[in-house]
């Protein structure tokens, strides 16, 4: 039935505001009001008579059709809503649902809430649509919104409806209130695979990995959506970022899925590709990708990102070209992956062309991550003035993730002028972490400005920011062995240090010279050389050499960026020992083989 808004409800929503907006739109140069009316005939003269029940259906269809055509233009939507109120169709349940859904889509969440409150006897679909709006818009940052919606649901008597319950579980998870999500989940009369999957997602949203796995283990039936949720959740929570020893977990999950007969569709494949890439097995990721018959943007994104992470820049760019030829539309994540590939491979001109194509060809507005990739691309090849000017022209604020790589590039290319400007920007930034402070301190130390470096360290101490010590890990015989710089607390240390001493001697015949400038301490070169020789990853590699069979691939995880000296040393160790050495540092994977690295010395 078509219902009128009473005067109180009109005031609550702001009918006068809507009509003024529509009138204002007609007065400005856009002539939006006239454009709307000319698009679909919605004047009272042309619409069916709202008082005639026989025409209710046609009236509803006209309004909904108009909303659908103008769903991306908030001002047009407001004007259409004004006409819906004027023609007394705004209380029609189908029109109300479409209005609320469109308001949520254009991020006019306040209007959606007001519309909801003005709707007489809202049904299940309105509740679920409103909760979806909270989640999509990001209002879940305030847990009160979940409790408010929950209260409205209880008052309406719809509290036991499964679809609303599922949406509330999701909303509480996004709010970070897992306890309330669990209460809602436990109170459901039927906890089927859909409910369990939503609960698992909420656990992962709150960073509660063990709780998510607990719910997963309690499930009797698991479908592809559930498996995808678990793999994505583990990836999002960094469970595959801790080192190569997590590769066994990834392989076990994949094997178990095969055993259970889970179909590897494009959604599951994307999650598995992402998982294998982060675990260090890019070949298995590529094999999975090649086996997917119908690939979507998510599948391509996972593979492009994985190739970039492993230094396969050319392959990543070629896959991006293939994606476009297959008419798969890229999104913002796609461009982060391919621009990272250009950065890691030193593909400056190509990176610039791809960046320009984002908005001009694909209609995607660059965000801070994309600008950061371009700054990194320019910085790596020494075009530092251009990179700094680029930051000044950006439409977004530079963050520490953008400034730190540029500062590192200034240090490498010995550009003190630009480096000091970047350092000033970085020191004034209020959201920098311990890694950024260390980068700043190291820059000043590389210039032998020890007082500036000490000032940065003092600032860290006052702020309670602790430097994360460099740590490397290697898996040998199903056991994880961790090493700190100069570590002596592990078995086989005598054999390990002996092997390290031999390699230090042999690498010098291959042209190795210690890069003492990267040992950023106010000490003499001999002491710096000794400090470099016992870096944690060298100890891990040498331990692997004395503890594994000849020609076995060594996989080392490192929690900080590889220094220049260790990178040069690792290439020579791989050549001398005829081993493949794979190191995952803070930023990417390095595949060392035959004296070369997959990153081509861009990292």
Nearest to 437 by CA among 412, 462, 413: 462
For 387-413, what is the mean pLDDT?
86
- In contact, 540 and 474? CB cutoff 8 Å: yes
Q: What b-and-e string marks burial along 491-506, b requiring 16 or more CB atoms within 10 Å of the CB?
A: eeeeebbebbeebbee
Parse the chain into domains and list their residue ranges. Answer: 1-121, 368-462, 471-597
391 contact partners, CB below 8 Å, separation of at least 6: 371, 375, 398, 402, 406
Nearest to 133 by CA among 164, 109, 116: 109
Q: Which long-range contacts (CB under 8 A, 24 or more apart) does 353-356 make?
A: 354/320
β-bridge mates for residue 558, sequence order: 472
Give the strand order in the sheet containing 479-484. 479-484, 471-476, 554-558, 581-584, 589-593, 596-597
CA distance 537 to 543: 10
For 69-93, what is the mean pLDDT?
76
Given a cut of 70, is residue 273 above it in pLDDT? yes
pTM: 0.65
Q: What is the pLDDT of residue 375?
A: 94
- In contact, 347 and 315? CB cutoff 8 Å: no
99 contact partners, CB below 8 Å, separation of at least 6: 67, 77, 81, 84, 90, 115
Given a cut of 70, is residue 279 above it in pLDDT? yes
**Residue with more model confidence, 279 or 11:** 279
CA distance 380 to 294: 37
Given a cut of 60, is residue 47 above it in pLDDT? no
Given a cut of 50, is residue 318 above it in pLDDT? yes
**Residue with more model confidence, 324 or 408:** 324
What average pLDDT is seen over the chain? 78
Residues 367-380 pLDDT 10s: 989 999 999 999 98
Given a cut of 60, is residue 51 above it in pLDDT? no
Given a cut of 60, is residue 526 above it in pLDDT? no
Lowest-pLDDT choice from 156-160, 190-194, 335-339, 570-574: 156-160
Which pair of tokens denotes residue 265?
Answer: 């569709």
Residues 383-393 pLDDT 10s: 999 999 999 88
Under DSSP, is residue 158 helix (H, G, I), strand (E, B) or coil? coil
β-bridge mates for residue 589, sequence order: 584
CA distance 480 to 554: 13
Q: What is the pLDDT of residue 435?
A: 73
CA distance 343 to 316: 12
């Amino acid at each position: 039935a078509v219902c009128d808004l009473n005067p109180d409800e009109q005031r609550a929503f702001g009918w006068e505001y809507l009509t003024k907006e529509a009138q204002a739109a007609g007065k400005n140069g856009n002539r939006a009001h006239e454009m709307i009316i000319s698009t679909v005939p919605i004047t009272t003269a042309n619409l069916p008579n709202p008082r005639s029940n026989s025409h209710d259906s046609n009236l509803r269809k006209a309004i909904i059709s108009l909303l659908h055509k103008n769903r991306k233009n908030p001002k047009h939507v407001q004007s259409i809503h004004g006409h819906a109120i004027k023609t007394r169709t705004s209380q029609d349940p189908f029109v109300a649902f479409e209005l609320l859904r469109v308001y949520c889509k254009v991020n006019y969440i306040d209007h959606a809430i007001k519309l909801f409150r003005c709707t007489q006897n809202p049904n299940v679909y309105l509740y679920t649509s409103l909760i979806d709006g909270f989640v999509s818009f990001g209002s879940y940052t305030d847990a009160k919104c979940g409790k408010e919606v929950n209260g409205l649901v209880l008052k309406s008597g719809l509290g036991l409806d499964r679809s609303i319950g599922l949406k509330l579980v999701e909303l509480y998870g996004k709010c970070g209130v897992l306890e309330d999500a669990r209460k809602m989940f436990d109170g459901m009369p039927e906890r089927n695979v859909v409910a369990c999957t939503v609960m698992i997602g909420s656990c992962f949203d709150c960073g509660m990995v063990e709780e998510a796995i607990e719910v997963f283990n309690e499930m009797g039936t698991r479908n592809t959506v559930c498996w995808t949720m678990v793999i994505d959740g583990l990836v999002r929570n960094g469970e595959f970022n801790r080192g190569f020893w997590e590769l066994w977990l990834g392989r076990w999950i994949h094997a178990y899925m095969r055993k259970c007969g889970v179909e590897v569709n494009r959604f599951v494949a994307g999650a598995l590709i992402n998982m294998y890439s982060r675990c260090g097995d890019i070949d298995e990721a590529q094999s999975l990708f090649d086996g997917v018959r119908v690939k979507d943007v998510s599948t391509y994104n996972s593979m492009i990102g994985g190739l970039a992470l492993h230094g396969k820049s050319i392959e990543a760019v070629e896959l991006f070209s293939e994606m476009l030829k297959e008419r798969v539309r890229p999104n913002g994540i796609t461009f982060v992956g391919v621009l990272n590939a250009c950065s890691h491979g030193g593909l400056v001109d190509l990176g610039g062309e791809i960046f320009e194509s984002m908005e001009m060809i694909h209609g995607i507005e660059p965000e801070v991550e994309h600008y950061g990739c371009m700054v990194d691309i320019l910085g790596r090849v020494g075009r530092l003035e251009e990179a700094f000017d680029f930051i000044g022209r950006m439409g977004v604020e530079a963050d520490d993730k953008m400034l730190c790589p540029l500062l590192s590039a200034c240090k490498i290319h010995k550009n003190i002028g630009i480096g000091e400007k970047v350092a000033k920007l970085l020191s004034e930034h209020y959201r920098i972490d311990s890694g950024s402070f260390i980068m700043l301190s190291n820059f000043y130390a590389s210039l032998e400005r020890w007082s500036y470096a000490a000032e940065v360290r003092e600032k860290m101490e006052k702020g309670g920011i602790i430097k994360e010590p460099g740590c490397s890990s290697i898996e040998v015989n199903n056991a994880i062995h961790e090493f700190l710089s100069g570590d002596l607390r592990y078995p086989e240390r005598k054999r390990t240090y002996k092997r390290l001493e031999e390699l230090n001697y042999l690498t010098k015949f291959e042209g190795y010279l210690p890069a003492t400038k990267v040992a950023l301490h106010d000490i003499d070169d001999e002491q710096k050389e000794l400090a470099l020789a016992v870096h944690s990853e060298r100890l891990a590699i040498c331990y692997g050499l004395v503890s594994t069979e000849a020609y076995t691939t060594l996989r080392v995880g490192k929690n900080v960026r590889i220094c220049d000296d260790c990178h040069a040393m690792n290439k020579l160790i791989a050549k001398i020992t005829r081993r493949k050495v794979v190191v995952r540092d803070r930023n990417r994977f390095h595949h060392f083989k035959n004296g070369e690295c997959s990153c081509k010395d861009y990292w």
